[in-house]
Structure 1
Amino acid sequence: MSQGERDYSEKRDFIRMRIETTVVLLQEDQRIEALCLDLSSTGMQLEAPSSLKMGDKVRVLIPSEHSELKGLDAQTEVVRVQALDDGRQSLGLAILAMV
């Protein structure tokens, strides 16, 4: 399946929630604060001051504001990278597993 077909399929099959919240990316010994723009059951879109590449594995933490609810902790893979004008990256991450 081509990336274009996959993008179209994902738009039909999965609801994306716009959330715009701060998240933490963990990769090896790096800790990067990023902005999550949207989230679905299979992935998320972020903007981050990073230099990640396609295929990189990244752990994503979204803390919960409520003590009764566990935050999101997911192992992800970078599936889309776009450089932004301000030196940050727009990232598409596929969720591989919930930790």
Structure 2
Amino acid sequence: MINFDDKRNFYRMMLNSEVDVTIIDDEANSQIKATCRDLSATGIAIEVDHPLAMSTHVKIKLQSSSEQVQPLDIRGKVVRIDEECEGMYLVGIAIEELD
């Protein structure tokens, strides 16, 4: 359960949705699959099987589960990396642009 005393400015929505991540900072614009763990007005946390470098710019496409709601296109940069277990990383991304 979310503790509202954690001094966050924005509520986090807990998700468990597959997302497509494009790594903008590399020349190939590599694409990887990830799982979106949570989303707020200023950030998104994704779960990946290999770490991304700090300050890496990414583009994330979050599909909607409803045809009536358009998918979210998020641009942001990596601000946190936590290894949860071997081969599993939680990557925090600060949202810079949202479409």
Q: Distance in 2 between matches of 1:20 and 1:44?
A: 12
Paired residue for 2:11, among 10, 15, 24?
Answer: 15
Residues 60 and 74, structure 1, Cα contact 8 Å, conserved in 2: yes
Residues 20 and 31, structure 2, Cα contact 8 Å, conserved in 1: yes
- Using the size of structure 1 for normalisation, the TM-score is 0.81
Query: Which residue identity is paired with 2:79?
Result: V
Runs of 4+ in 1 over 6 A off after TM superposition: none
Residues 84 and 90, structure 1, Cα contact 8 Å, conserved in 2: yes
Query: Which residue identity is paired with 1:57?
Result: H
Q: What's 1:61 paired with?
A: 61
Q: How does 1:1-99 map to 2 (within 5 A)?
A: 9=7, 11=8, 13-28=9-24, 29-99=29-99
Q: Percent identity?
A: 29
In structure 1, runs of 5+ residues without a counterpart are 1-7
Residues 20 and 35, structure 1, Cα contact 8 Å, conserved in 2: yes
- Using the size of structure 2 for normalisation, the TM-score is 0.81
Q: How much does 1:82 deviate?
A: 1.5
Residues 34 and 48, structure 2, Cα contact 8 Å, conserved in 1: yes
Q: Distance in 2 between matches of 1:36 and 1:44?
A: 7
Higher helix share: 1
